[in-house]
């Protein structure tokens, strides 16, 4: 396995870490190397632009971007990069993540952000979705994705059986 990061996980603040670590855990499940850092669309716009512009040349193939409140980060990253950007809205304000969801998903035509659910489920799905993008037609990765789906189904079977006992 190439240890160079294939996925970049970016979050608007270190306060987003407990959510965004779910994306990292999902990538670890598929043995996909990643990098993780903090940058803000509003507080550190130059750092955000620099990170976004250089990600592809560093070998990164997918960007996962999480932010809360006025969550412009994923959109700004998508504006600066030709990599696919997966957005994770985070519950970080009185509006419980609805603000971040709308800010992340309502992109103007031409600058797509693949927006996940609010919070931990969204972050986990972002990691899985990144794995699906990276898998392409690689049989080893496809096998890992199929095994993962089988494990999900087996988990439901086990819960159904437990209910019958």
- Residue 44 contacts ligand RP5 per CB under 6 A: no
Q: Walk across the sheet containing 114-115 and list its strands.
A: 34-38, 7-11, 62-68, 85-90, 114-115
Q: How far apart are CA 129 and CA 33, in angstroms?
A: 14
* Residue 68 binding ligand RP5, by CB under 6 A: yes
Q: Which stretch binds ligand RP5 (CB under 6 A): 67-75, 76-84, 114-122, 146-154?
A: 67-75
* Binding status of residue 10 toward ligand RP5 by CB under 6 A: no
Task: Find out whether 148 and 29 touch, Cβ atoms under 8 Å.
Answer: yes
Q: Does 23 bind ligand RP5 (CB under 6 A)?
A: no
DSSP classification of residue 21: H
Decide whether 15 or 150 has the Cβ nearer to ligand RP5: 15
Please give the helix or strand (H or E) that residue 163 lies within, else none.
Answer: helix 139-164
Q: How far is the CB of 14 from ligand RP5 (least distance, A)?
A: 7
Residues binding ligand RP5 (CB under 6 A): 12-13, 15-16, 40, 67-69, 90, 92
């Amino acid at each position: 396995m190439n240890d160079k990061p294939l996925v970049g996980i970016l979050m608007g603040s270190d306060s987003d870490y407990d959510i965004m670590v779910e994306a990292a855990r999902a990538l670890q499940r598929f043995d996909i190397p990643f990098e993780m850092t903090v940058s803000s669309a509003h507080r550190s716009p130059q750092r955000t632009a620099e990170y976004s512009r250089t990600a592809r040349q560093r070998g990164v193939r997918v960007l996962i971007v999480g932010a809360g409140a006025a969550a412009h980060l994923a959109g700004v990253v998508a504006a600066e990069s030709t990599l696919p950007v997966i957005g994770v809205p985070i519950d970080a304000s009185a509006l419980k993540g609805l603000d971040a969801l709308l800010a992340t998903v309502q992109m103007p035509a031409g600058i797509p952000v693949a927006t996940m659910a609010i919070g931990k489920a969204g972050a986990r799905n972002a990691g899985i979705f990144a794995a699906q993008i990276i898998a392409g037609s690689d049989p080893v990765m496809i096998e890992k994705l199929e095994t993962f789906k089988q494990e999900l189904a087996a988990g439901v079977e086990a819960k159904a059986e437990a209910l019958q006992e």
